[in-house]
Amino acid sequence: MMFYAYILYSKIRDRYYIGSTGNLINRLKKHNSNHPGFTGHTGDWFFVWQQSFTNQRDAAKRERQIKSWKSRIIIEKLIEVAHSQTES
């Protein structure tokens, strides 16, 4: 089983959300459902970045690392680098 650290983006809120999971599809459905919490109520979240890991511990560690940056600029650079690598 694979685990993932990921970043979502909402155009409505113009905000990013950082998380980790073992199931990207189910997790995105949850974020886009009408639930209480940070990602609830907008329903427009989509993946802008993800990284896979072989265990949950490493995915959660990467999530905490990205959250610790507390910088939109650095997060957007991470996303930009990942997108430029997939286009090459």
pLDDT given at position 10: 98
Amino acid 88: pLDDT: 59
How many angstroms separate the CA atoms of 56 and 29, rounded?
20
List residues bridging with 20 in a β-sheet. 5
What confidence tier does 85 reach under pLDDT thresholds 50, 70, 90? confident
Predicted TM-score of the model (pTM): 0.93
Tens digits of residue pLDDT in 10-68: 999 999 999 999 999 999 999 999 999 999 999 999 999 999 999 999 999 999 999 99
DSSP conformation class of 7:
E
Residue pair 17/10 in contact (Cβ under 8 Å)? The answer is yes
Number of structural domains (the chain) is 1
**Confidence (pLDDT) at 83:** 87
As a whole number of angstroms, the distance between CA 66 and CA 39 comes to 18
Whether pLDDT at 86 is above 80: no
Domain range for residue 68? 3-87
CATH number of the domain residue 37 falls in: 3.40.1440.10
Chain centroid to CA 82: how far? 13
